[in-house]
Structure 1
Amino acid sequence: MSISSSLNAGVAGLAANATRLAGISDNIANSGTYGYKRVNTQFEGMVINQARGAGVYSAGGVRAMTSRVIDQKGALISSSHPLDLAISGRGMLPVIPSATMGLNPADRPIMMTTTGSFRPDADGVLRTNSGLVLMGWPANSDGTIPTQTRDAVGGLQPIVLNANQTSADPTTMMSLGINLPAVATEEGASGEPMTTRVEYFGNLGTSESLNITFTPVPSAVPGQMSNQWQMDIRDSASPDSTNLVGSYTLSFDDSPTLGGRLSSVTTLSGGAYDPATGELALDVAGGPMAVRIGTAGDANGLTQLADSFKPVNISKDGSPVGNLTAVEVDENGFMRATYDTGFIRTIYQIPLVDVPNPNGLIALNNQTYQVSPSSGSFFLWDAGDGPTGTVVGYAREGSTTDVAAELTDLIQTQRAYSSNAKVIQTVDEMLQETTNIKR
């Protein structure tokens, strides 16, 4: 009968508003929780079918549907630590529980979070206080990231940092900008060689050097310059008997437009000269090294001008052995380590996890989420690529709770709950009147 359905509807209203109150309480309680996504509660009416025009209505009541608004972004709150990470835009950080560290990579349950305060533990593993371990792709020794599978987590590894970690970066590229005095090639000049020493770093971080000797070739014509030099390059890391790694004849231009610039390089022995790049392919004790002396007509390499012998611009890569001093993550998710020698090296890349429907993810403790049939399969993106945003260091994502709005909803829920209780009280009184008819 209709009066019974009214009682059921009132009870359903109490249950629905109690559910909404629970969601509001959770939101307010987590208004200061980093990365918290608010719970949204919506009501849906229930209708009981009845004959049209019967003159009787049966109340179906209401039911509450809760969902977590995961795709809503909280405000970014700045911090003072480089490993406080957040995401500006779409995407999440891949993490695993620290309890699963010893499992096979394929058996680890991949989870994701939008923000975290990661610190190295006693073993150097980057993790939060709640035990979430940050995952990433390790870089090769040269700082490049190998090709990885984007729809599986097998290539992801826990990020490990060691405070006593050291690294050396061997020199593989060098650029020489040296001026040779033009008057040294005049007729009657002494032909005295000129030497300079350029430091480079070996594979083990040792300090070695290329000892470069420039010997002028005096002109045989009175009053003129030959504009030719012989350049010999010796490697300090090699034995004296075999330390000559390259010998070359250098010719310089004396035209009005290109005067003082290289015109040609002839290889006498050792590594070959590439006229397209202006580089010498030297084979030093630590391996191959490219030394750039300039192309024909290049003003930034070796020059011969009426000035003294002096190095004007010498640059090289590499560094000696250094201790780890700082780690930062850039906007593309590359984690770079800085050493006290000034050497900066990429050690990991942190991809961003994305799913077609973020609101369909399963919410877990500590603001973490897992995929579900409603969310769709995940994909690992490079930060800033595709639909994903960028990684922000020195920041945390704040809660998406708006306390003022939640308090307004709290008042509305309280009044709705009281109204449903009044319905039940009224039905009870009407049933009492029905019972009193017998008396």
Structure 2
Amino acid sequence: MSLYGTMRTGVSGMNAQANRLSTVADNIANANTTGYKKASTQFSSLILPTTGGAYNSGGVTTDVRYSISSQGTFSYTTSATDLAINGKGFFIVQGGDGVEYLTRAGAFTPMSDGTLRNSAGFTLMGYPYSSTEDPTIVINGFAGLSPINLASGELNVQASESGYLHVNLPSNEAHPYTKSTSLVAYDSLGNTRKLDFNYSTTATPGEWELSVTYTDPDTGDVYDMLDPAGATVITPPATAATQALAFDTDGKLAPPSPETIATQPLGIGGAILNGLSISIGGTSGGSTQLAASFAAKGDIDGIGPSGVAGYEISDDGVVYLKYENGDLVPKYRIAMADVQSPDNLKPLAGNVYSQSNDSGVIVMGYAGNNGYGSIISGALEDSNVDIAEELTNMIESQRNYTANSKVFQTGSELMDVLVNLKR
């Protein structure tokens, strides 16, 4: 046995306990850090070969591990941009260096430029939203991501494209009988355009004719919106084109009556009123001819000029802008990522993580799909540090450090005895 070896073993033990105390200190310091994942120190023995009956003391080495896959509890807030993930996955954020990182720290705040940044200054990333299909995800990379921007639609206009109009035409009215109703559509500049739907009986019982017109409030010109040649002004001797409607003995629209009618596009006042697809119903429901008063219900999509009044974020990560007129318009979808071994991610300053050799490749996805957790708006994930456990670890490390120092001290005293044998 070597006295120097004994002292080296004592030093090794003190260094190991100092490392443990360092992780305890970090954990306690970050007990209130949003999304923080605690560190722990694992010990591994170092054994030296024993020869000739003499025992050679070895030592101890440490390895720091992170409980990144362990989810913390949630604290609820009043901010819709405070986000937490209930389940597996990470937010993707971009640092000031333009590099993407992973994080569970979702305390995002809208900035003056409309982007969302957390308390460490990292910007939340996502994909522009499409109503027809999900964005194409680069499974193992961050291509296609862009900063989520709540100011991207400061003023919003959405031209009308479709709608519905379901009416009851009174079956007990004598011919000739005419009744009109109107719907408002939005053109490409957000102007309101009132379309008049005119229903008239024909000489054949159960048959009606429908015409659709638009009257220019500035010129008084009346446009025929059903004219197959395109929306044109109706001259005084001319009549508007009509769509024939026939009803069966149950009062429902019968073939060859269409289930939808299509108006013609109209360019007026420097704007375009799109051709509209208006559902009028069919044999399964919609417009009817019954012995009751004329009644109508309908709507056309579209949004007039409206400013952003707020925003909402759904549990599947869709970011909606809420406009002053009450409309919710999806603009972005928050991207999520995961790796095969989250606990082996590389921690970096700012409570973010990067891929390491042991973590596995980054796999992209969406909240609520393919095993990814859901997003909770108005909540933050707490640190997963247990203060009571950390204080216990601190006391254990303090005692163990003291014990190792006694080993070093004893070895030093024995060296003194050995040196002074000559005396």
Same fold, judged at TM 0.5 (above): yes
- Letter matched to residue 193 of structure 2: E
Once the two structures are superposed, the pairs formed by residues 237-248 of structure 1 within 5 Å of their partners are 240=222, 242-245=224-227, 247-248=242-243
Q: Which residue of 1 aligns with 2:253?
A: 262
SS in structure 2 of the partner of residue 86 of structure 1: strand
Asked which structure has the greater RCO (Cα within 8 Å, sep 6+), the reply is 2
Task: State the Cα distance separating 1:132 from its structure 2 match.
Answer: 0.6
CA distance in 2: counterparts of 1:394 and 1:137, whole angstroms:
21
Residue of structure 2 aligned with 1:82, choices 80, 97, 108:
80
Q: 1:290 aligns with which of 254, 257, 277?
A: 277
Using the TM superposition, give the Cα deviation of residue 163 of structure 1 relative to its aligned residue in structure 2, in angstroms: 8.7
Q: Is the 8 A contact 2:139 2:364 kept in 1?
A: yes
User: How big is the shift at 1:42?
Assistant: 1.0
Deviation at 1:156, TM superposition (A): 0.5
Unaligned runs of 5+ in 2: 228-240, 267-272
The answer for the alignment partner of 1:370 in structure 2 is 354
**Cα distance in structure 1, aligned partners of 2:19 and 2:396:** 13
Question: 1:339: which partner in 2?
Answer: 323
- What is the rounded CA distance, in whole Å, between the counterparts of 1:192 and 1:32 in structure 2? 74
Rate the CA distance shift 1:355–1:77 in 2: closer, same or farther, 3 A.
same
The answer as to whether partners of 1:163 and 1:324 remain within 8 angstroms in 2 is: no
CA contact (8 A) 2:126 2:335 kept: yes
Deviation at 1:145, TM superposition (A): 4.3
Secondary structure at the residue paired with 2:208?
A: strand
Q: Contact 2:315–2:374 (CA<8 Å) still a contact in 1?
A: yes
CA distance in 1, matches of 2:35, 2:212: 59
Match of 1:118 among 93, 104, 108: 108
Q: Is the contact between residue 214 and residue 223 of structure 2 (CA under 8 Å) also seen in structure 1? A: no
* Aligned 8 A contact 1:87 1:389 in 2: yes
Displaced runs of 4 or more, over 3 A: 142-146, 235-239, 241-246
Structure 1 residue identity aligned to 2:244: T
Give the distance between the partners of 1:45 and 1:192, measured in 2 at CA.
99
Equivalent runs, 1:39-188 vs 2, <5 Å: 39-51=39-51, 54-97=52-95, 99-100=96-97, 108-140=98-130, 145-162=134-151, 165-184=154-173
Q: Contact 1:356/1:376 (CA < 8 Å) preserved in 2? A: yes
TM-score scaled by length of structure 2: 0.90
AA in 2 matched with 1:9:
T
Structure 1 match to 2:234: none
Name the CA distance, whole Å, in 1 between partners of 2:367 and 2:170.
Answer: 52
2:261 corresponds to: 280
Q: CA deviation at 1:236?
A: 4.3
CA RMSD of superposed structures (Å) = 2.0
Q: Residue 417 of structure 1: CA displacement?
A: 0.6
1:320 matched to 2:295? The reply is no
Aligned to 2:38: 38
For the 8 Å contact 2:84–2:375, the answer to whether it is kept is yes
Name the SS for the 1:423 alignment partner: helix
Taking the aligned partners of 2:109 and 2:221, their CA distance within structure 1 comes to 47
Q: Is the 8 A contact 2:8 2:59 kept in 1?
A: yes
SS at match of 1:115: coil
| Aligned match of 1:21 | 21
